[in-house]
Structure 1
Amino acid sequence: MSGRALGYSVVFLSLLSGSGWLFFQNFDVDGVNQLKIVRRAHTKAEPDTSVATVMQSSFDAPPKPEGELPAATVYQGRRAISIATFNMESFNQSKSRKPAVMDLYVRMLRRFDVVALQEIQSDTDDLLPRLVDQINSHGGRFDYVIGPRIGPQRMQEQLGFIFNQDAVDVDRSAFYSVDDHSNLLTREPLIGWFRTRGIKTDEAFTFSLVNVHVDPARTRDEIPVLRDLMFKVRDDGRGEDDVIMLGDFSEDYRKHEGLSHVRDLGWAVGEISTLTAGTAFVDNIAFQKTSTVEFTGRSGVFDFLREYNLPIEQALEVSDHMPVFAWFSVFEGGEPGRIAQR
């Protein structure tokens, strides 16, 4: 990165299902090379809102009956949470009116504790709330966060997170979206902070998620910006060393030369196609292995085409991407009583 400055404005957008209520929490973050967050005055206090619920289940097991949701998922005798990313491919009003498509979204998303979503595309603010409400009908306690509309005027989208409130807590004041005045990124990432639930607070795994969607025509320019952003999020004043970048990188992870300077960078999946029809692996979950020792080593691509025995035409109506997931210990440092070095 040269002397070009990348400015950030932290924007938290919360929607109350059915009311279209908006809340913005603003910060200033100055410069690619000089990350500094300064809290600015905001015009409206955040109300106590609980937005929707969803059932969470173990990835390899069928959904538990209603009322049997665990505080955290059990994986091979250890408590772990599943973090996933999913490009929904133009999730819009037209798709939301197709019961078969919505049913498949529900069946997939309820499998994970936290999911970063890309390509939410609607002129109205009720699209994601309605999806979460539909998932709610199966029981559980999920919530969601959705960012501002980003990208070119005719191809705008929103990034978002849905998460199991029985598995994680969130700091609503710590969600922010990059405000890129220099247009270094076509779509500004959405960033949030999470902490696992169900165990002692001082032993809980805390982590920042950076939800990204790289422009496929600008990967050479945008990937180095994401490298810098990864460090800036780590140094944003919270003292969080576990920064997990996930989303649609629009390129094979082996070609990410712009991320080569991130020491000991790990990727959740390797040479496994993340596209419904194709051989490319463009969706992934990245983190520093020396910092994020909570990664259990278990990860993969959820091939819903084969899982639900779908014809390719029906699968492509859902998305041309497949969810990528990884499992992380609920304990900071990977074990009870062990605290990772900050």
Structure 2
Amino acid sequence: MTDEAPATPGRIVLLTVSHRVAPGLLSWPAWQTLRAADRVLCADGAHPLLPYLREAGITVESGITAEAGVPAPAALTALDLVDECAGGRTVVVIPSGGGDGEGAGEGALTDGLARLAGSGRVQMPDLELLPGSYDLPGARLLDLVHVMDRIRRECPWSSTQTHKGLAKYGIEEAYELVEAIEDGDGDELREELGDVLLQVVFHARIAQDGLEEEEGREPFSIDDVAATIVEKLIHRHPHVFGDETAETPEDVKAHWLRTKAVEKQRDSVTDGVPLGQPGLALASKLAGRVRTAGLDVELPSGDGIGYELLAMAVRAEEAGIDPETALRAAARTYRDAIRTAETGGAATG
């Protein structure tokens, strides 16, 4: 008497795709698996991938196209799937295309398969998770653009905002970002970077609408914003994208300043310095422009603390110190001293 060879268990493949990648763009292993499969199932009859698969000659059974007498994918249980794999057959399951994570049906299906595998009563087919498409770096930015677009359309507050109305938030978020950097808190830094990024996407979405307050200005989108900065970065980094060389940070800065001078065609080294920035930062920026241009400009003399602060800011810039950062650091130490005094006062009072 000879032992019978065990039946070939077959294979269940859960084929996942990213909704951030254009439908139909699949990896080669995914196409190979789909073409070789005995049955391809998708409970979502509106899945964006289905037209491309059918155009490629792959039969896909969905909840609205299942043949008479054959259970629709949405009705299949985990045990049904296991039975479908009998004799070494391969069944590919395509989850719903609703976004991140599994749909409710696929979640129940995978849970059921896990329970069957743990029961030990059923010979399980091989289970495989096959990514058919992958998110590229920056893919979640597409989600941000999509969410912002919907909020702009449907939120009563966001739909009425203007560039001028949001300006103060840009300043606040920038300061909060600086504070997170100085605190050295990685979680806080990530959150504040997101808040600053939101301001960029929000303003770009407003510009896309072409508001009345901007009459005469061409609307633009977040893609136009990104294209502009990409073009600028490439143009200002000829040592990376061109034939020039730069071996030190000073070389890079020299490239940058020369390129900016040609682009802006400024009449003065002070052109482009925003006067609305904090006073110490403004004084430092002006001093840096003077030093870079090699100009010999005497500091204006006058009475009052303003001229003293100006002189200190220029001295700091010459020493390579950001006066704003230095003052904030000193102010934070002062704040800690105040809290210590308050705590001591409370204890003795």
Larger RCO: Structure 1 or Structure 2 (Cα < 8 Å, ≥ 6 residues apart)?
A: 1
Please identify which structure carries the higher helix content. Answer: 2
Larger radius of gyration: 2
Shorter-normalised TM range: under 0.3
> TM-score, structure 1 length as denominator?
0.22
TM (normalized to structure 2)? 0.22
Higher strand share: 1
